[in-house]
């Protein structure tokens, strides 16, 4: 029989739940809205059946995304194929500068945190992941790798979302 009390007193479990709640609140969503992902200034999750464009993004151990500047249009639904050509884990996380900085601070405290958010592709070395994203507003949308040390090393990029 599982000891429920000790399971819920686990520092890792509590930390992960708090971080998820904080990031969800910053992204403007609750699980009740739009299946947990309400539309924000950066756009919203989409389905593969809605894809209008596919873009491959490479992540390397030089702490760079290739490309790091990506042009899309408002209304585009993009399937990002996110490849990790490096030898360490990398991730691509979409967000506002404020969201990314706050989430990065949490990652520094809890480096083993696992992400399953629709705006994130956490990718093991030599593997690839996917993000399917609808760009609903024009402007700049940021992305970054939030693995400890990577963000500070400049592993960041931007989407220019044209009208």
Residue 41 confidence class, pLDDT cut points 50, 70, 90: confident
Q: How far apart are CA 5 and CA 114, in angstroms?
A: 23
pLDDT tens digits, one per residue of 97-141: 999 999 999 888 887 777 778 999 999 999 999 999 999 999 999
Side-chain half-sphere exposure of 123, counting CA atoms within 13 A:
28
Q: Rounded to an integer, what is the distance from CA 163 to the centroid of its chain?
A: 23
Within 10 A of 18 (CB to CB), how many other CB atoms are there? Answer: 12
The chain-wide mean pLDDT, for the chain, equals: 81
pLDDT tens digits, one per residue of 134-143: 999 999 999 9
Residue 25 confidence class, pLDDT cut points 50, 70, 90: very low
Tell me the sheet residues that pair with 157: 143
The model's pTM is 0.75
pLDDT tens digits, one per residue of 56-69: 999 999 999 999 99
Domains within the chain, CATH numbers bracketed: 42-162 (2.60.40.420)
């Amino acid at each position: 029989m599982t000891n429920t009390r000790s399971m819920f007193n686990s520092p890792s479990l509590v930390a992960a739940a708090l971080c998820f709640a904080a990031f969800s609140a910053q992204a403007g969503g609750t699980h009740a809205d739009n299946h947990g992902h309400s539309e924000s200034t950066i756009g919203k999750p989409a389905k593969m059946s809605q894809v209008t464009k596919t873009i491959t993004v490479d992540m390397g151990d030089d702490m760079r995304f290739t490309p790091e500047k990506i042009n899309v249009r408002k209304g585009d639904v993009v399937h990002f194929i996110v490849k990790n050509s490096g030898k360490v884990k990398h991730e691509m996380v979409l967000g506002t500068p404020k969201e990314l900085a706050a989430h990065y601070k949490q990652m520094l405290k809890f480096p083993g945190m696992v992400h399953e958010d629709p705006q994130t592709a956490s990718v093991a070395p030599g593997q690839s992941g996917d993000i399917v994203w609808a760009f609903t507003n024009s402007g700049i949308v940021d992305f970054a790798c939030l693995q400890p040390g990577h963000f500070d090393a400049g592993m960041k990029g931007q989407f220019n979302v044209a009208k």
